[in-house]
Amino acid sequence: MLDDTFAALADPTRRAILARLRSGEATVTELARPFNMSQPAISKHLRVLERAGLVSRGRDAQRRPCRLQAGPLKAATDWLEGYSRFWEDRYQNLDELLDKLKDEEANDG
């Protein structure tokens, strides 16, 4: 599932679609409007987002609105947080080393 999420997020058009859906549901026509591409092209992007579980489509009379499904984004964020902690630890170690070097330099001078 995480692979599907990152694969879907790799494309800037799909990221823009998700950003638009953050503000509420939209039809394919509404989603296609800001892009210089056809509705079938947007539909292909939506299928990738659906397979990743990031978008669902409902039925509202004649409309089939698309909705953001943020669950997979939470899983991706949780995975990335582990690397954030890794880098925080590295920066902390670097800060400690720099402080030690400053102290040694002050004592030598």
pLDDT band at 63 (very low <50, low <70, confident <90, very high): confident
Cβ-contact 20, 31 below 8 angstroms: yes
CA geometry: angle 103, 108, 109, nearest 5 deg: 100
Looking at residue 109, its pLDDT comes to: 65
pTM of the model: 0.76
pLDDT at residue 54 is higher than 70 = yes
Complete DSSP assignment for 15-32: HHHHHHHTT--B-HHHHH
Burial class of residue 45, CB neighbours in 10 A (0-12, 13-18, 19+) = buried
